[in-house]
Amino acid sequence: MDSKVLVIGGGIAGPVTAVALQQAGLQPVLYEAYGRGSDGIGAFLTLAVNGIDALGAVGLREPVERLGMETPGMTMVSGRGKHLGTLPMQARTVSRSDLYQVLRDEAVRRGVVIEYGKRLVDAETRDSGVRAVFSDGTSAEGDVLVGADGLRSRARSIIDPGAPPARHIGLLNTGGYARGLRPAGDPGVAHFVFGRRCFFGYFIHPDDDVWWFANPPSRREPTREQLVAIASEQWRARLVDLFADDQGPMLDIIAATDEIFPGWNTYDFPSVPRWHDDRMVIIGDAVHATSPSSGQGASLAIEDAVLLAMCLRDHTDSPAAFRTFEALRRDRVERVVKHGKRSGDGKADGPVKARIRDLVLPALMRRMTAKGSLDWMFDYRIDWDASVSETGSATTVRAGGRP
Ligand SMILES: Cc1cc2nc3c(=O)[nH]c(=O)nc-3n(C[C@H](O)[C@H](O)[C@H](O)COP(=O)(O)OP(=O)(O)OC[C@H]3O[C@@H](n4cnc5c(N)ncnc54)[C@H](O)[C@@H]3O)c2cc1C
């Protein structure tokens, strides 16, 4: 196809899609709802090896590898101080705002036009293309529209007004950056603590702060307004109480943090029935948000972006491109979402289940490492030079284990 593509959303999937489309010889224009700044988009995330590799397919690996810290492994302990397991990893932990900024800067450097303050409110499909309408009253026309507009995607509900809402997972998120202390542990490694009443994760930056997060369980789904209303000091008091009976550096890390992040809920989508119509398609969190416990949301969004661009490159009509894209992606992303949900559930175990977990997890982790049972997730490689066929044949993908 030689088309103008309206890409909605300037988070992770959007800019990578725009860069990939341009590399494929198409003409993307990116529309982002907010202004140029990237405040309020959360704390940090870990990019897995599969996501980093997909960035490499479109020349974005190098700028991203300058950010944050290398994460060579993960170690887990219980709140009683029992070592539960260690997994080697090839990953990078980066601040979300830095990542957004670098991806957008790279897109602009390569000549992609980004329009800010453009919130998609509607879109209509015509024989010859698609017209997007924005909240400021303006509109844009293109051949196809890619909805990379995140968890609360408007594009998703335009494609399918009956699309299911996101599922609330009973975990909250907060965290921060602690200054002036060096807890035990290796730099960059993901240190996870299954506390008696709350899960905690921290990463020691080699020459900077300690980056941390906590997942207080919450069966109830607080509104965004309720979460924003919880002040930093209220979070501090709540977390100090939650970790009071646990071993580990949590209380020191919390005390060394000036400002604790406002909280946010956790959601996922087990399965979104309609991914596309003839002219519009959704990618990234818009179509398969996964629990942060999978550590894969950003990486899947990047994989989507690269593969969608290849599908649009290799098909003369958009329905065939979108069918191929879905065929290549659906099984994999739904499997990751399932895996993320299971991992997240383990963070909110009651005392009885927690005791069982502490007994079985060490052996399970050893088996997982020996058998490589997560290879299907991490060993996923995209070959930019391969062509993608309408049957969704995996000629583009070298996957260790099932795709
Ligand atoms: C607490 C937390 C921790 C996480 N940890 C990890 C992790 O460790 N590893 C990992 O891989 N992933 C993690 N993730 C997930 C990861 O952040 C997401 O999967 C990823 O950001 C998805 O990228 P995206 O581009 O699809 O959506 P987003 O990054 O959400 O981007 C969507 C963009 O669309 C814009 N937008 C929204 N609506 C409109 C509209 N109507 N019109 C125009 N623009 C619009 C938004 O402003 C935004 O810029 C975490 C997420 C959370 C919340």
CA of 58 to the centre of ligand 1 (A): 20
123 and 158 in contact (C-beta within 8 Å)? yes
Which residues have CB under 8 Å from 99's CB, separation 6+?
12, 45, 47, 64, 67, 298
Which of 47, 67, 285 is the pocket-test mutation for ligand 1 (most atoms within 8 Å of CB)? 285
Q: What is the DSSP letter of 25?
A: T
CA of 211 to the centre of ligand 1 (A): 19
Cα gap 372→388, rounded to integer Å: 28
Q: Which atom of ligand 1 is nearest to the CA of 48?
A: 11
Please, what is the Cα angle at 297 between 271 and 254, to 5 degrees? 125
CA of 151 to the centre of ligand 1 (A): 7
pTM for this one? 0.95
183 and 253 in contact (C-beta within 8 Å)? yes
How confident is the prediction along the chain (403 residues), in pLDDT tens digits per residue? 558 999 999 999 999 999 999 999 999 999 999 987 655 456 899 999 999 999 999 999 999 999 999 999 999 999 999 999 999 999 999 999 999 999 999 999 999 999 999 999 999 998 889 999 999 999 999 999 999 999 999 999 999 999 999 999 999 999 999 999 999 999 999 999 999 999 999 999 998 799 999 999 999 999 999 999 999 999 999 999 999 999 999 999 999 999 999 999 999 999 999 999 999 999 999 999 999 999 999 999 999 999 999 999 999 899 999 999 999 999 999 999 999 998 888 787 777 777 888 888 788 778 777 777 889 999 999 999 998 875 555 434 444 433 3
* Cβ(68) – ligand 1 distance below 6 Å: no
Atom 39, ligand 1: residue with shortest CA distance: 149
* Cβ(294) – ligand 1 distance below 6 Å: no
CA of 298 to the centre of ligand 1 (A): 7
25 and 164 in contact (C-beta within 8 Å)? no
User: What average pLDDT is seen over the chain?
Assistant: 92
Q: Which atom of ligand 1 is nearest to the CA of 93?
A: 8
CA of 276 to the centre of ligand 1 (A): 19
153-183 exposure pattern, b = at least 16 Cβ within 10 A, e = fewer: bbbbebbbeebeebeebbbbbbbbbbeeeeb
* Cβ(150) – ligand 1 distance below 6 Å: yes
Question: 210: exposed, middle or buried (C-beta count within 10 Å: 0-12, 13-18, 19+)?
Answer: buried
Cα gap 36→282, rounded to integer Å: 23
Q: How far apart are the first and last CA of the chain?
A: 27
Which residues have CB under 8 Å from 363's CB, separation 6+?
none
Q: Which atom of ligand 1 is nearest to the CA of 283?
A: 26
* Cβ(32) – ligand 1 distance below 6 Å: yes
155 and 143 in contact (C-beta within 8 Å)? no
